[in-house]
Amino acid sequence: MTSAAFDVLGIGNAIVDVISRADDSFLGTHALTKGSMMLIDEARAEALYAAMGSGIEVSGGSCGNTMAGVASFGGRGAYIGKVRNDQLGAVFGHDIKAIGVSFETALATTGPSTARCLILVTPDAQRTMSTYLGACTGLGPNDIDIARIGSAQVTYVEGYLWDAPEAKKAVLKAFDAAHAAGRQVSITLSDSFCVGRYRDEFRTLIRDKVDILFANEDEIKSLYQVDTFEKALEAARAENKICALTRSEKGSMIVKGSETHAVPAAPVAKVVDTTGAGDLYAAGFLFGYTHGKPLAECARLGGIAAAEVISHVGARPERALKDLV
Amino acid sequence: MTSAAFDVLGIGNAIVDVISRADDSFLGTHALTKGSMMLIDEARAEALYAAMGSGIEVSGGSCGNTMAGVASFGGRGAYIGKVRNDQLGAVFGHDIKAIGVSFETALATTGPSTARCLILVTPDAQRTMSTYLGACTGLGPNDIDIARIGSAQVTYVEGYLWDAPEAKKAVLKAFDAAHAAGRQVSITLSDSFCVGRYRDEFRTLIRDKVDILFANEDEIKSLYQVDTFEKALEAARAENKICALTRSEKGSMIVKGSETHAVPAAPVAKVVDTTGAGDLYAAGFLFGYTHGKPLAECARLGGIAAAEVISHVGARPERALKDLV
């Protein structure tokens, strides 16, 4: 196996976030479930946007945020995701390259516009997301460069990709290419509703292909359809993979066969916006992992990154994460 | 004179800000003058954007920010400005309407794209702006609805409009319409370099048409080509108009003939980003003025609004200004 050009290569839905504040009654009026991610079509996106308050636009996408975190730690990252050749696509491409992540996926020149995620932040700092996938649905196996995948220590993907059938095929191609090159692959389950949509596929995938699994408490309980975190933890342990399970202010638990590490959360003065917490946890963990750190230290780095991102509005780090460790 | 539908109607360059952090050496490398606004063409905008770090996109434009401030105080505002029917134009239009400002200017359907202002915030909280005017150059007299102008107590414009020849004609049409309806008109000088470009026109305009003038220390000294603030203040006094002169942390001075009011600045815990300070001062002042407040109280409201906006990144208020007074 040759030395790796990249620490982490991420594949995800390339999305520009539109972040606005809202109160609980707005969520009720628009039938939004607090804390969840819901897929919406373009007409619904336009109607919801028209009803929302003024916003800020900022590059996002779960995996894009993770790659921003890896780069912020000083890691070498690459990203694969699909935007259109429109203004928001230019914003996404600029931002991910500006932070030092290699991004060479061909732009869509026809079809739906660049994806947007309408994020409503309520006074309790929770975020509720409505995503119009747009150009992301055009990501497919042709966007996967086998050599590029083979040049990354870990290929990391978001479960959300299962919402676009061609993107799922791209992931499977990438996973096979990574393993053929002697590399490792990782997935985040993304969202408990996403797990509900693709539970059986995810369980098969984890058993057969995944080396490192990320999930929060709701997601892992949904995956194994159990009612306590402890049962979910034991089911995850039985996979005999590295499973990093996050529990918000309770920190995270890492299991790998008989190994168990409980790592407390990093302190946060004030939680402002929880958007990106899981994405940045994965960033810290994978940065540590690809730099040869022990699992407990990987989890600690994940916690530091998550703490930074929830202390301000927006899902990408504002401070250089390498300065925080 | 009939009662006014709007307190303030603003006319300005409708711009989406792209805000990024930069250090002083970046300004040097790219020949940017700290604290100034420079006009750039599309090619330069693309080159500078490519060199900048990742950013956030947020609706801006000097007068747009002022109108956001008026609305945040609870004032009734209208805005006239030109964007294209592109994604950033949709963002601008959404944001200004979402805060309750009436915005009905026809979108450009051909020609240059929506204007962008690349704002670099240095560690000293100063902002350096490079503006691609784009669709703003399409604003002209046809965009001025005489009846709408007549329905606002004060029509307020930014000096920056002089950079687009047709926009200047639009302003002159609006000023005449306002006076014909028995209303008042106001202008901000915008920027000392802008004053340098249009000094003679501005002096004639102020003498012949303006009722309320906004300027900071550099701008008013440049207007009258004097070397001290005291000399500039006396020259402004001789106009026999309301002149609101801002001096950053020294507060503001209001002169109107023999009347003089020196009003201290509102306290700020930490200055984060000075973008929008002058815009929000004008918002507070004009809100007070159109609600019958004495001049010193207008200046105090201006100071409160300016203090809010410089305490965070971005040029529009994050907190409801009506809650701060």
> Taking CB atoms and an 8 Å limit, are B54 and A95 in contact across chains?
yes
Question: Which residues of chain A neighbour B114 with C-beta distances below 8 Å?
Answer: 87
Cα B275 from Cα B302, distance rounded (Å): 15
Is B6-323 in CATH node 3.40.50.150?
A: no
A123 at B interface, C-beta within 8 A: no
B95 at A interface, C-beta within 8 A: yes
Name the token pair of B307. 């203090």
> Taking CB atoms and an 8 Å limit, are B54 and A113 in contact across chains?
no
pLDDT of residue A1: 54
B88 at A interface, C-beta within 8 A: yes
Question: Which residues of chain A neighbour B96 with C-beta distances below 8 Å?
Answer: 54
Cα B244 from Cα B250, distance rounded (Å): 13
Cα B57 from Cα A57, distance rounded (Å): 5
Most A CBs within 10 Å: which of B16, B87, B316, B319, as the mutation test of the A interface? Answer: B87
Rounded mean pLDDT of chain A? 96
Strand A77-80 with A102-103, pairing: parallel
Q: Is the Cβ–Cβ distance between A44 and A52 less than 8 Å? A: no
* 3-class secondary-structure state, position A1: coil
- Give the total residue count for chain B: 325
Most B CBs within 10 Å: which of A94, A114, A316, A318, as the mutation test of the B interface? Answer: A94
pLDDT of residue A287: 98
Q: Residue B11 pairs with which residues in a beta bridge?
A: B80, B157
Percent of chain A with pLDDT strictly greater than 90: 95
A95 at B interface, C-beta within 8 A: yes
Q: What is the DSSP letter of A251?
A: -
- Known active-site residue B279: yes
Q: Is the Cβ–Cβ distance between A44 and A188 less than 8 Å? A: no
Q: Which of B59, B86, B94 sits opposite A87 (nearest CB)?
A: B86
User: Measuring CA to CA, how many Å separate B200 from each of A165, B167, B206, B211?
Assistant: 64, 18, 10, 18
- Give the total residue count for chain A: 325
- Which of the residues in chain B have pLDDT under 70? 1-2
Over residues A195-219, the pLDDT tens digits come to: 999 999 999 999 999 999 999 999 9
Q: Which residues contact A186 (CB under 8 A, 6 or more apart)?
A: A154, A155, A156, A157, A210, A211, A212, A213, A214, A282, A286
For A60, the closest chain B residue by CA position comes to: B56
pLDDT of residue B2: 66
Residue owning tokens 């964007």: B83
Write down the catalytic residue from B7, B163, B211, B279: B279
Q: What is the DSSP letter of B219?
A: H
CA-wise closest residue to B164 among B269, B39, B59, B80: B39
> Taking CB atoms and an 8 Å limit, are A53 and B96 in contact across chains?
no
Cα A140 from Cα A120, distance rounded (Å): 30
For A30, counting Cβ atoms within 10 Å of its Cβ (0-12 exposed, 13-18 middle, 19+ buried), the class is middle
Q: Residue B255 pairs with which residues in a beta bridge?
A: B243, B260
Q: Which residues contact B69 (CB under 8 A, 6 or more apart)?
A: B279, B280, B282, B283, B284, B287, B305, B309, B316, B317, B321
Question: Which residues of chain A neighbour B86 with C-beta distances below 8 Å?
Answer: 86-87
B52 at A interface, C-beta within 8 A: yes
Q: What is the DSSP letter of B84?
A: B
Cα A151 from Cα B165, distance rounded (Å): 55
Write down the catalytic residue from A124, A227, A279, A323: A279
Cα B2 from Cα A311, distance rounded (Å): 50
| pLDDT at residue A79 tops 60 | yes
A88 at B interface, C-beta within 8 A: yes
A320 at B interface, C-beta within 8 A: no
Q: Is the Cβ–Cβ distance between A25 and A75 less than 8 Å? A: no
Cα B39 from Cα B118, distance rounded (Å): 10
**What distance in Å separates residue A219's CA from the closest CA in chain B?**
31
In chain B, what is the straight-line distance between the N-terminal and C-terminal CA atoms, in Å? 30
Residue B142 one-letter amino acid: N
Question: Which residues of chain B neighbour A52 with C-beta distances below 8 Å?
Answer: 94, 98
Cα A310 from Cα A313, distance rounded (Å): 7
Q: Which residues contact A198 (CB under 8 A, 6 or more apart)?
A: A159, A162
Cα B57 from Cα B18, distance rounded (Å): 5
Name the token pair of A273. 């916006």
User: Measuring CA to CA, how many Å separate A278 from each of A65, A81, B11, B248?
Assistant: 10, 19, 44, 42
Cα A303 from Cα A174, distance rounded (Å): 28
Helices (H), chain B: 24-29, 42-51, 62-72, 87-98, 146-150, 165-180, 192-208, 217-224, 229-237, 277-289, 295-309
Residue B216 one-letter amino acid: N
Q: ∠ CA(B170), CA(B176), CA(B177), 5° rounding?
A: 85
pLDDT of residue A3: 83
Q: Which of A49, A87, A95 sits opposite B88 (nearest CB)?
A: A87
Beta strands in B5-160 (DSSP E): 6-11, 15-21, 37-39, 56-59, 77-80, 102-103, 115-121, 127-132, 152-158
User: Measuring CA to CA, how many Å separate B286 from each of A43, A267, B95, B180, B252?
Assistant: 39, 44, 21, 20, 14
In chain A, what is the straight-line distance between the N-terminal and C-terminal CA atoms, in Å? 30
> Taking CB atoms and an 8 Å limit, are B56 and A314 in contact across chains?
yes
B102 at A interface, C-beta within 8 A: no
Q: ∠ CA(B315), CA(B319), CA(B322), 5° rounding?
A: 110
Q: What region does B182 belong to: left with phi over 0, alpha with psi -120 to 50, or beta? A: left
Cβ-Cβ contacts under 8 Å between A and B: the total is 58
Q: Residue A244 pairs with which residues in a beta bridge?
A: A214, A254
pLDDT of residue A313: 87
Q: Give residue B258's Cα distance to chain centre.
A: 27
Q: Is the Cβ–Cβ distance between B140 and B170 less than 8 Å? A: yes
Cα B188 from Cα B172, distance rounded (Å): 15
User: Measuring CA to CA, how many Å separate A237 from each of A157, A226, A256, B132, B189?
Assistant: 21, 14, 6, 56, 67
Helices (H), A151-290: 165-180, 192-208, 217-224, 229-237, 277-289
Over residues B82-121, the pLDDT tens digits come to: 999 999 999 999 999 999 999 999 999 999 999 999 999 9
